[in-house]
Structure 1
């Protein structure tokens, strides 16, 4: 299919490739010399959409950002756990005895890494959903242990009290992040299943 050429350009015709698009020269010409002074361009009439990946809708929501926040809060939790283990005896709190901060921190680091890997490995969707649900359960248990510690706290140890309250706030943040990711992952999983 060749484009239509103005009668004054018939002698200037060269061989052109075939195309599936309308290749009309844009513009109206009344006189033969007028066509040379105007800018001429070709415009495709149809744009072919890009092929979408397997988790396109989910990845548009940027779960890797929330996964990165999970990793940062997990690293913070591990740091708090190390501080408590170094400065407090095992019998002083349930927080230290059960290594609550270490466990939740490592679990949230793993959840964040898996959430970040979804872009390259979409098959990890089920694992990521499972790990984030596990994070919510472990964080709820950890929050209960911290609450018990806060109820029976020794008033002489005020610095550790503030640290446990801060860890409780970090756990709340981690639960919110995991809940959002679980909602997105379960919605995507339901959309993928027939």
Structure 2
């Protein structure tokens, strides 16, 4: 075991001794001699906005839409509504799930940005067509299908939320594309 006998007293009458010189203490400052390059990953600004969160919301709402569509397919006759006949929930839920997956993969694969943008734009077009079909069903409201029509109203509201998410993502993607180009 090592042991040392060192004087730890503070003496005010002596000046500090540094590097063999007596006098004022030596003060050194660090100064960078060259600038370090900025190591920013691709899509840095976009990824700071966390598109994966919106992508996860897209996946969850897409799964909910597909579930509602399966419920309608099981409980309602085909000829009762356009919503069931054209499988609007499955038609809108499936591309939304794909768009959400692509938005989640942007962090790992930034090259998927144009694909994600195209899928989100495609979903918006499909969602507008689905909203038109739901609106036609709601225009023919009767008391026999009251429960199903209420579910269609809920699906229409969910579709509006899903379109809102896709519009936000498309806006962010376009903004990122414009920042990249000179």
* Pairwise same-fold verdict (TM > 0.5): yes
1:193, distance to aligned residue in structure 2 (A): 2.3
Any stretches of 5+ residues in structure 2 without a counterpart? 1-14
- 2:170 pairs with 1:182: yes
Aligned residues: 165
Alpha-carbon deviation of 1:161? 1.1
The change in CA–CA distance for 1:8 and 1:62 in structure 2 (over 3 A counts) is same
Find 1:148's aligned residue among 136, 142, 160. Answer: 136
Alignment of 1:132-143 (within 5 A): 132-143=120-131
Is 1:9–2:18 an aligned residue pair? yes
Q: Runs in 1 of length 4+ with deviation above 4 angstroms? A: 42-50
Q: Aligned Cα RMSD in Å?
A: 2.4
How has the CA–CA distance of structure 1 residues 148 and 49 changed in structure 2, closer, same or farther, with 3 Å as cutoff?
Answer: same
> TM-score under structure 1 normalisation?
0.78
1:166 alignment counterpart: 154
Give structure 1 stretches of 5+ with no counterpart. Answer: 1-5, 13-28
1:88 to 2:97 alignment: no
d(CA) in 2 for partners of 1:176, 1:11: 72
